[in-house]
Structure 1
Amino acid sequence: MKHLIVYAHSNAESLNHAILETVVNALKEKGDEVVVRDLYALDFQPVLKPEDTAAMRAGQTPADIKVEQEYITQSDMITFISPIWWTGLPAILKGYVDRVFAYGFAYTSGPEGIHKLLTGKKGFIVNTHGTPNEIYDKIGMTAGLKITSDTGIFDFVGIESVGHLLLGSIGYLDEDGYKGLLKQVQDTVKSVL
């Protein structure tokens, strides 16, 4: 299976980076192909500009967008790994979605509604956040985050969500707590992906 991991964290010492390494290693142990697109390392430009839209409408997709769309086209599974900042995706990852999951590539529309152009692919998400999971569950944030990403992004373009790990209390756990989270990620990758 061909996996595309879209990774968005600015700190190479972060838990998110340890999660990235855990996911990559678990997938490679299974014999799967893995491509990582580290958006910060790539200095990915997240702002969808009017000239981007005009170029795509003219059939001349900007080179940086085209590269990312090719990775998506070649993948069977797309995984997003990022923190939750201000109850949403980091701007660089949201901008990736804005620019790369473009009209005409990821979806089109007509009188009958939306045509999902990435049908047949699967998606998985791992997010971290500082708030304890119990609080996010209680206030509806967990459900909200799943709806905006699993449904609002993946399902909208035809990608079947196979899981979404929301890992809370980051910054407040002891060493065993972090090891437990990484084990949860590893076990999920081995059983779900």
Structure 2
Amino acid sequence: MKHLVVYAHPSAESFNHAILETTVQALKKKGHEVVVRDLYALDFQPVLKPEDTAAIRSGNTPVDILTEQKFIAEADVVTFIYPIWWTGLPAMLKGYVDRVFSYGFAYAYGATGIDKLLTGKKGLIINTHGTPKEIYDSIGMTAGLKITSDTGIFEFTGIEMVEHLLFGSIPSVGQAALDEILVQVEETVTTLF
């Protein structure tokens, strides 16, 4: 299978980076083809500008957007790895979605409603957040995050969600718990794919 991993964290020393490495190694160990798009390392331009929208509408999609769309089009599985900041996607990843998951590429309006143009692909999301998981669960934030990204981004465009892992209290849980999380990530990826 061809996997596209879209990664959004500015620090190579972050726990998210350890999750990225674990995910990629687990997939490669099983013989999968993996492409990583590290948005910060790429210095991806996240701001959707009026000229981007005009160019897309006229059929002259900007090269940086076309490049990312090509990776998505070629992937069987799209994985997002990112931290939850202020109860949502980091601006870098939100901008990636705004620009790359554009009308006519990821979705369109058809005679019967929304045409999901990325149907046939699978989706995996792995998140970390500093708040304890129990608090996010009790206030409905975990469910809200899943609706926003699983339903609002992936399922809206036809990507079938296979799993959404959310890990709380990062990085304060301690090294033993962090190590256990990496084992869980590896086991999940290995089992799903």
Q: TM-score normalized by structure 2?
A: 0.99
Q: Quick one: which amino acid aligns to residue 131 of structure 2?
A: T
Q: Quick one: which amino acid aligns to residue 128 of structure 2?
A: T
CA displacement, residues 6-62 of structure 1 (integer Å, 9 cap, x when unaligned): 000000000000000000000000000000000000000001001000001110000
Q: Give the alignment of 1:33-72 within 5 angstroms.
A: 33-72=33-72
Task: Assess if the C-alpha contact under 8 Å between 2:124 and 2:162 holds in 1.
Answer: yes
Task: Assess if the C-alpha contact under 8 Å between 2:52 and 2:61 holds in 1.
Answer: yes
Task: Assess if the C-alpha contact under 8 Å between 2:22 and 2:186 holds in 1.
Answer: yes
Say which is worse superposed, 151-160 or 170-179, in terms of deviation: 170-179
SS at match of 1:95: helix
- RMSD of aligned residue pairs (Cα, Å): 0.6
Shift of 1:184: 0.7
State the number of aligned residues.
193
Q: Give the alignment of 1:16-95 within 5 angstroms.
A: 16-95=16-95
Q: Quick one: which amino acid aligns to residue 190 of structure 1?
A: T
Q: Quick one: which amino acid aligns to residue 44 of structure 1?
A: F
Q: TM-score normalized by structure 1?
A: 0.99
Mapped partners of 2:187, 2:111: distance in 1: 44
Task: Assess if the C-alpha contact under 8 Å between 2:47 and 2:95 holds in 1.
Answer: yes
Shift of 1:111: 4.0
Q: Quick one: which amino acid aligns to residue 99 of structure 1?
A: R
- Unaligned segments of structure 1, at least 5 residues: none
Show the counterpart of 1:152: 152
Task: Assess if the C-alpha contact under 8 Å between 2:3 and 2:33 holds in 1.
Answer: yes
Q: Quick one: which amino acid aligns to residue 118 of structure 1?
A: L
Mapped partners of 2:79, 2:52: distance in 1: 25
Q: Quick one: which amino acid aligns to residue 86 of structure 2?
A: W
Mapped partners of 1:179, 1:27: distance in 2: 18
Runs of 4+ more than 3 Å apart: none
Mapped partners of 1:21, 1:186: distance in 2: 10
Say which is worse superposed, 98-107 or 167-176, in terms of deviation: 167-176
Mapped partners of 1:174, 1:130: distance in 2: 12
Shift of 1:171: 2.3
- Percent identity over paired residues: 71
SS at match of 2:164: strand
Mapped partners of 1:119, 1:180: distance in 2: 33
Q: Give the alignment of 1:98-117 within 5 angstroms.
A: 98-117=98-117
Say which is worse superposed, 12-21 or 102-111, in terms of deviation: 102-111
Mapped partners of 2:184, 2:133: distance in 1: 14
Q: Quick one: which amino acid aligns to residue 93 of structure 2?
A: L
Task: Assess if the C-alpha contact under 8 Å between 2:15 and 2:171 holds in 1.
Answer: no
